[in-house]
Amino acid sequence: MVTTRFAPSPTGRLHVGNLRTAIHNWMWARKAGGRFLLRIDDTDAERSSEENVEAIREDLAWIGLVPDAEERQSARFAIYESHFETLRAAGRIYPAYETPQELDLKRKILLGRGLPPVYDRAALNLSEAERAALEAEGRRPHWRFRLDHDAPMEWDDMVRGPQRFDPEKISDPVIRREDGSWLYLLPSVIDDIDLGITDVVRGEDHVTNTAVQVQMFAALGAQPPRFAHEALLTGAEGKLSKRLGSLGIDHFREGGIEPVALVALLARLGTSDPVEAVTRPQPLIETMDFARFGRAPARFDEGELAGLNARIVHQLDYDAVADRLPDTMEREGWAAIRPNLSTVGEAANWWAIVEGPFDAPVPGDDVEYLAQAAALADEIDWRDDPWRALTGALKERTGRKGKALFLPLRRALTGLGHGPDMAALLPLIGRERAIKRLRGQ
């Protein structure tokens, strides 16, 4: 069974890049009839918070991504410890005592010589006595995973194609800090094995991590999952934007963006498929295919999202939005106002115009014309198409046509020179209110 996972750290709120990763993991699992897991990566106790954990859950629920199960890394420390000791006994993990300053100096020396800044494995040459002396000085070791230089790091990436890395050009990664806390690499591999993760979908900034983790899977006697590394998002200005990292899901929710609009845009960004104004995610799930993903950075534009949101709102059924509309707005009102909305929240503003009262503009030279319109509005049949009946009678009596015929009526009846189709709006305003407005009352 295809099993994917979304693994955010609860050190802050979800942002656009996080959400795109979550959406693709969720879609890939749903397409295959598999499972989508939420893994809370809360090994950093100082920076993680329960408030952020709850916010992540709420954001995923709002967008419609319901995980089949949830795991927390903070509840799995005993499992990590057990695998750590196994790897240590096998010689795949070793202690290192260099300080950050010493490591930085080594890197600078190598770079100055035009060499890659790869760790020299000096810690492997320490004797037991030397280790004991360092610890007597108060030094505590950090722990590195020993890469196998004879085992190439390779996999067939679902987005990037065949990948191959030379382990001699990569430093043995630090997997555990001096205080015993865990870094990302090893716990993630252990979790993927234990939780049966078959497919890992994440950003291309993790490619080198994957190269290292391929060896970790092998060291633990497991086959690695399939990997898909997506190109990162860029801002509308065409380069990586810090703003993308600050655009939380609450920003879009408060701005009136429909959850399905975010799903529709982020599902297709970076693919060769067009962004579609869908009202449900199923068509996106059915066409999900990593072969359609390109390697060029994917451009996220809030303007494009707003336009997509408007197109989706124009398709939403009354039943889908009724709980967010004014109490007195029924199906006919939604049908009349919907084509002019960018967000569902704007419906209340238009409904206030229907129900009134509002400050009508000064009619100017149209006083007599509007008085004629009021008289005719009192005479026409309101049961069929009152707007057509009213404008037809006015055209015949006054000879007006085009804007001269319609615009003064719209302004008197709605207070605005633009808006929903008056043929749909006038019956909602109703006979009595319309006549009063045309009379300037």
pLDDT at 342: 96
Q: Which residue has the higher pLDDT, 102 or 356?
A: 102
Q: Are residues 212 and 259 in the same domain?
A: no
Q: Are 108 and 257 in the same domain?
A: no
Flag whether pLDDT at 170 surpasses 90. Answer: yes
Q: Is the pLDDT of residue 148 over 80?
A: yes
Identify which of 181, 173, 182, 178 has the alpha carbon closest to the alpha carbon of residue 214.
173
Do 153 and 191 belong together in one domain?
no
Q: Is there a single domain that holds both residue 194 and residue 66? A: yes
Same-domain pairing of 309 and 333: no
386 with 422, same domain: the answer is yes
Residue 135 within a domain: yes
Question: 181 lies in a domain?
Answer: no
In angstroms, the CA 330 to CA 123 distance is 74
Q: Are residues 65 and 206 in the same domain?
A: yes
Residues 226 and 253 in one domain: no
- Picking from 153, 176, 199, the residue at the C-terminal end of a domain is 176
Same domain, 302 and 322: no
Q: For the segment 37-53, what is each residue's pLDDT rounded down to a tens digit?
A: 999 999 988 889 999 99
- Determine, yes or no, domain membership for 90: yes
Amino acid 362: pLDDT: 76
User: What CATH number corresponds to the domain at position 124?
Assistant: 3.90.800.10
CA separation for the pair 20, 65 (Å, rounded): 11
Report whether pLDDT(58) > 70.
yes
Predicted TM-score (pTM) of the model is 0.90
Q: How many domains does the chain fold into?
A: 5
Poorest-confidence range of 132-146, 238-252, 309-323, 408-422? 238-252
Identify the bridge partners of residue 40 per DSSP, sorted by sequence position.
72
Render pLDDT for 417-438 as a digit per residue (tens, 0 to 9). Answer: 999 999 999 999 999 999 999 9
Q: Rounded distance, CA 268 to CA 290, Å?
A: 11
In this predicted structure, the answer to whether residue 356 has a pLDDT above a threshold of 90 is no
Q: Domain of residue 28: give its range.
A: 3-70+187-232
Judgement on whether residues 83 and 172 belong to the same structural domain of the protein: yes
The amino acid sitting at 31 is K
Q: What is the pLDDT of residue 363?
A: 77
395 known member of a binding site: no
For residue 281, the domain's CATH number is: 1.10.1160.10
pLDDT above 90 coverage of the chain, percent = 88
Residue 84 and residue 164 in one domain: yes
In a domain, 237, yes or no: no
Within-domain flag for 223: yes
**Three-state SS for 71?**
strand
> Are 169 and 216 found together in one domain?
no
Percent of the chain with pLDDT over 70: 99
Average pLDDT for 204-209: 95
Rounded distance between C-alpha atoms, residue 109 and residue 69, angstroms: 48
Task: With a cut of 90, say whether residue 243 has pLDDT above it.
Answer: no
- Report the CATH number at residue 379: 1.10.10
30: domain CATH number is 3.40.50.620
What's the pLDDT score for residue 240?
Answer: 59
* Alpha-carbon span 62 to 64, nearest angstrom: 5
What is the rounded average pLDDT of the residues 296-300? 89
Is residue 405 situated within a structural domain? yes
Residue 182 lies in a domain: no
pLDDT at 241: 60
Judge whether 250 lies within some domain.
Answer: yes
